Amino acid sequence: MTTVDLKQSLLDEISKIENHEFFEALKVFMDFKMEKKIYHVSEEQMIVIEEGLQEFERNEGISDKEFTTEIEKWLSTK
């Protein structure tokens, strides 16, 4: 699949989505990737990030496959 084909495929799929929260998350991701702004996190978010990093250091994370399965399950309930 070419880059043009991939872009068109993504645009087609995105045009079907009605979830506002999805678009907010996508915007944050795109801004980060484009380095348009610095993302500021709240104290609560920083605590969660630090907890996640500590879990990672203790090898308490889940595999990419498990994560994908969980996300797909979560998305199917929305």
Query: Where would I find the H helices in the chain?
Result: 3-14, 20-34, 43-57, 64-76
Q: What local confidence, expressed as pLDDT, does residue 78 receive? A: 65
For residues 4 and 23, membership in a common domain is answered with yes
Length of the chain as a residue count:
78
Check if the beta carbon of residue 23 is closer than 8 Å to that of residue 17. Answer: yes
**Consecutive sets of 10 residues in the chain, 78 residues long: mean pLDDT of each?**
92 91 87 70 93 89 87 85
Q: What local confidence, expressed as pLDDT, does residue 28 receive? A: 83
Q: What local confidence, expressed as pLDDT, does residue 57 receive? A: 87
Domain that holds residue 9: 1-39
For residues 18 and 46, membership in a common domain is answered with no
For residues 2 and 35, membership in a common domain is answered with yes
Number of domains, the chain: 2
State both tokens at 50: 């630090």
For residues 35 and 60, membership in a common domain is answered with no
For residues 35 and 46, membership in a common domain is answered with no
For residues 46 and 35, membership in a common domain is answered with no
Q: What local confidence, expressed as pLDDT, does residue 36 receive? A: 59
For residues 1 and 12, membership in a common domain is answered with yes
Q: What local confidence, expressed as pLDDT, does residue 56 receive? A: 84
Q: What local confidence, expressed as pLDDT, does residue 40 receive? A: 81
